[in-house]
Amino acid sequence: MHQFHPSILREYDIRGIIGETLSTADARAIGQAFGTMVREEGRETRVCVGRDGRLSSPELEEAVVEGLLASGTAVIRIGLGPTPMLYFAQKTLGTAGAIQITGSHNPPNHNGFKMMKGGKPFFGDDIRALGEMAASGSWASGSATVQTVDVRADYLKALLGGFSAGGKDLTVVWDPGNGAAGDMLQALVARLPGRHVVINAAIDGHFPNHHPDPTDPHTLVQLQEAVASEKAALGIAFDGDGDRLGVVDDRGRILWGDQFMVLLAKEVLAAHPGAPIIADVKASQLLFDQIAAMGGRPVVGRTGHSLIKTLMAEIGSPLAGEMSGHIFFADRYYGFDDALYAATRLLSIVARLPGTLGEWFDTLPRLVNTPELRFECADDAKVGVIETVRARLKKEGAEMSEVDGVRVLRPQGWWLLRASNTQAVLVARAEAKTETDLTILTKDLADYLVDAGLTPPDLMTTPTSHG
């Protein structure tokens, strides 16, 4: 029997702090419970295991493998690399499951596990069932084999398949942020046309140069400076495990996921007219409007990479994305979030633009919005707050989406309030055409929070231009 710290079993993955809430004993129990669940489902019982470059990842990987073998589950070790490489291995080797040891974009002393089973994301009820199995100790036992397989050459070939030749050569600055994508990125750019400058390429679990989160503007400063000094056409950054990307144009301006998604959607819709394109509920209305204008069917999805992948498979969407920089291609690819592949697709599109990326960016309508606003709310209270707000909105006959929390449409624009699936916080965002309208929207949202019994934080902070 094994009891996990209650904070580490999250909605989309398992995450904790090394030496405080997460240990090698946890990793071994995860391996044995996961292996048991795989064995219960069918004759194929092999599981791929990979890891990122964090200091604690080698010992956690070793413990996961021990647990899998103890359950009688065969293991294929993929080694050090980005999370999408592990997903690729699972798809191409046809294994029953996959586990990546990664702390993603979290601080260096954090780590965790992202999993797949039966070719699908392992999350929600799956993770809860794993916890219950470990607590009861009702897992399988046996012996099995372990082998190491190098998929890097095949993965590189798949990444290069995302590049379409015929555009102009570009100077590009890349920043893997000392994360797990560093080695594969250097192999990739060596095969791409143009001039490529890679900063912070060495995989280093200390993350000595900046935090590995491309949605944090502070982490993109070094990239912006390099784009300026190299006179580059664009800059591309990655998170710690290579499944999210950030983009900077030739003028050093940040393009968020729901902005560069417009370019990606245009190319995909040319090949799949009328197709459903998914963006998460936090995405700008700009993206949904642009998808519709290009003849696509915009679909609002719940935030969370596992949820997006599941919805993609259900409705046959060729492309999906999140504001956080998770981009999912089922068009010419496997349907999982791979920042290296998405970057390669984006690069070939930018190379074929008649002008620069910055000139294209200037053609988008100008909107203003708050950043993503996160404020503390106890886990046992946050759902109640959302329900209180939803009930009032319904009583008033408000126009809204209830896909994930409430996204409320007003004459001035829209505001969102949702409960985080991974933390004891509420998440809010608002977007409008003018700063005056944005102020009206944030005051409107604050009124609903007060009515729900909360003292709202500063819901405005510094508005940013969108488009």
Any residues with CB less than 8 A from the CB of 23 and at least 6 apart, and which? none
Q: In this structure, are residues 183 and 150 in contact, taking their beta carbons and an 8 Å threshold?
A: no
Do β-strands 75-80 and 146-148 pair in parallel, antiparallel, or remain unpaired? parallel
Pull the structure tokens for residue 95. Answer: 């294994």
Q: In this structure, are residues 10 and 37 in contact, taking their beta carbons and an 8 Å threshold?
A: no
Distances (CA, A) of 260 to 309, 337, 422: 19, 15, 26
Pull the structure tokens for residue 119. Answer: 């070719």
Which of the following is catalytic: 23, 71, 104, 284?
104
Burial label, 441 (beta-carbon count in 10 A; 0-12, 13-18, 19+)? buried
Three-state SS string over 272-284 comes to CCCCEEEEECCCC
Considering Cα of 57, then 241, then 9, then 149, what sign does the dihedral take? negative
d(CA 171, CA 187): 17
| 23 catalytic per annotation | no
Distances (CA, A) of 386 to 405, 413, 416, 440, 462: 6, 20, 11, 20, 25
Number of neighbouring beta carbons within 10 Å of residue 393:
17
Closest CA to 139 of 36, 63, 47: 36
According to DSSP, residue 245 is labeled: E
Any residues with CB less than 8 A from the CB of 136 and at least 6 apart, and which? 1
d(CA 85, CA 242): 9
Strand partners, 49: 77, 99
Tokens 């003849």 belong to: 295
Long-range contacts of 216-224 (CB under 8 A, 24+ apart): 217/254, 219/177, 219/246, 220/175, 220/246, 220/248, 220/254, 222/175, 223/173, 223/175, 223/199, 223/248, 224/248, 224/252
Q: Is 95 helix (H, G, I), strand (E, B) or coil?
A: coil
CA dihedral 213, 215, 219, 222 (to 10 degrees): 120
Strand stretches in 57-125, DSSP E: 75-80, 97-101, 110-117, 120-121
What amino acid positions are annotated as catalytic residues?
A: 104
